[in-house]
A = this chain, B = another copy of it.
Amino acid sequence: MKTVIVYSGGLDSTVLLYHLLDEGHEVAALSIDYGQKHKIELQRAKAISQPLDLHHEVADLNGMTKLFGESSLINSQNSVPHGHYEEENMKSTIVPNRNMILLSLATAWASSIKADSVSYAAHSGDHAIYPDCREEFATALDQAIRLADWQEIYLNRPFVGLSKAEVVKRGAELYVPFQLTWSCYEGQDLHCGQCGTCIERREAFHLAGIEDPTSYKNTAPSLQTMIASKWRL
């Protein structure tokens, strides 16, 4: 079994990387520089994959960021919003069609190196604000990927039924070095603690009952306050 993982250096895809190795896959890891402000994730991807003796490639998409419009993950004029993912202003973090682009490049590489699947860390907690995180999108794209080459390549999503907290639990079982993974969209030296992905990360460790080893710049308002406000407790 040989697979190409779409590997960001984030929490979910790092747990997936360890999970695939644990399952006995031969893994090639693909990270993409698409002009994201949080390029630090690419350094983390390299640091994590190096001791695992993987083939890790970083593909450079900077020559086409002009196609991505005003996304606050890329555009220096637009700030990354703070708050919970469920809030409307989080839509500025959408990078148009990002998942199809990443998966189509991973499929090209899978085809070149005769891998039988492309793996990515979609999980059940992926967000309603991102159209290309929807299960029906992934199912349709899986069909296209299966037809894109003469050797059938399929889209492997072993975490699709797990919440992010369950992904953290799986990572703990596998001794994933959580402290090396990077989530924050702001891309400073420390996780900001307040953007959508930082809050989700904090929440996942909290719900999993596993100690969060991340150093956050700011954890006010507290997670409890935000969870209470989210669920109107």
Contact = CB atoms under 8 A, between A and B. Distances in A.
A216 B66 CA distance: 37
A178 interface: no
A66 B109 CA distance: 8
A134 B66 CA distance: 30
Given A62-B63, A63-B60, A149 B104 contact: no
Could you say which interface size class chain A belongs to?
A: 35 or more
A100 B61 contact: no
B101 A108 contact: yes
Interface string A61-76: 1111011111000000
A147 to B, nearest CB: 4
A-B interface, 3 closest residue pairs, ranked by CB to CB distance from nearest: A60-B63, A69-B112, A96-B111
Interface of A: 30, 33, 57, 59-64, 66-70, 95-101, 104-105, 107-109, 111-113, 131-132, 134, 136-137, 140-141, 143-150
